[in-house]
Structure 1
Amino acid sequence: MPGIDTSRPFIAVRIAVLTVSDTRTLDDDRSGQTLVDRLEAAGHILSDRKIIRDEIPDIQSVVKDWIKNEDIDVVISTGGTGVTGRDVTPEAFLALYEKEIAGFGELFRMLSYQKIGTSTIQSRATGGVAGGTFLFALPGSTGAVKDAWDDILVHQLDYRFMPCNFVELFDRLQEHEKRSKS
């Protein structure tokens, strides 16, 4: 059975939160604040937080800077994952991935289906890895953020969660670079 192995230590993960929106501010960014509240309640560290317009170059600029930042292990965005013309977060993230975590979006939609039915098909939530940093793009609704954190990320970002988790992979995410330098 999956669960927490209490013999393993908790390891705080350094997480940056990006809200993708043309209209939100820190005062009314409920989804971004929900992520911040949940990650801090779980014992993780908020490394940075920004709100950026729905523009691929703007999103990629922030995410690239965070990927280079050694004080950031994970980037989680909220917003811009729908199918309208302004929804470009998946395109911005997919172009940066070295490896896509296809199962993240699939699992998110499966869990979301149980709550909102076929409306989940409009979500293009995605996950991947770039430069040794995990990247996750979530929908902009507060409910979707809660579902992704409470049902997936809180477990996968906990080193104690077994049988496996993302935290135990941090040191191995850039093995290809170590081999190429040898």
Structure 2
Amino acid sequence: MRALLCLSLMLGCGSASERAEPRAATANDPCPVLSDPANQDVGGLVPSLAGDDVPTDLDGLAASLPAVAEGSTIAKIPRGYAGHWSPEVAAAYERDGVTWRVSITDLVHVCTCTEGMGETLRRGVTNAEDRMLGAVPARVRPGEVLVWIHDRCALQVGGQGPTEVAWALAQEIDLDALARACPAR
């Protein structure tokens, strides 16, 4: 399940003690480190494709998420922390008796983040339905919604429940705030 989650979003998870070796990006593979099956379980130390001085607005990404229940928090995970290749914010939400995970990952360090990258990643998500989340194309499959913002950030809503509940939760995301926090490169 962990490998599937990481690959489905092209997140890059693993332990910081391992190191991924970069390959050259191509138009068909804008995230070469993440798409290489040999790197499925490594992370943290992968060299940045954008340079280590490219900032991520974790506070801005977190502000785009719906409010969490009292006692819960929105996790703000910097690049390299706990083996994460990419900066990420994540939160859990309870809807209709199911716990849903919402995450936003800045892919700028592990993908080219050039124009068309989001579309390339969308095409790679199989067995999914195309929908529009506001003005942004989304891929929806059972219990999961995937969206790419500005060819840079990946938004995922996932859980073991009805797809329409995931879709309703995705609609609670402040897409304008997310677009500001995740600017195009």
Q: Tell me whether the two structures share a fold, i.e. TM-score over 0.5.
A: no
The structure where helix makes up a greater share of residues is: 1
Name the structure, 1 or 2, with higher relative contact order (CA <8 Å, separation 6+): 1
TM-score by length of 2: 0.32
TM-score by length of 1: 0.32
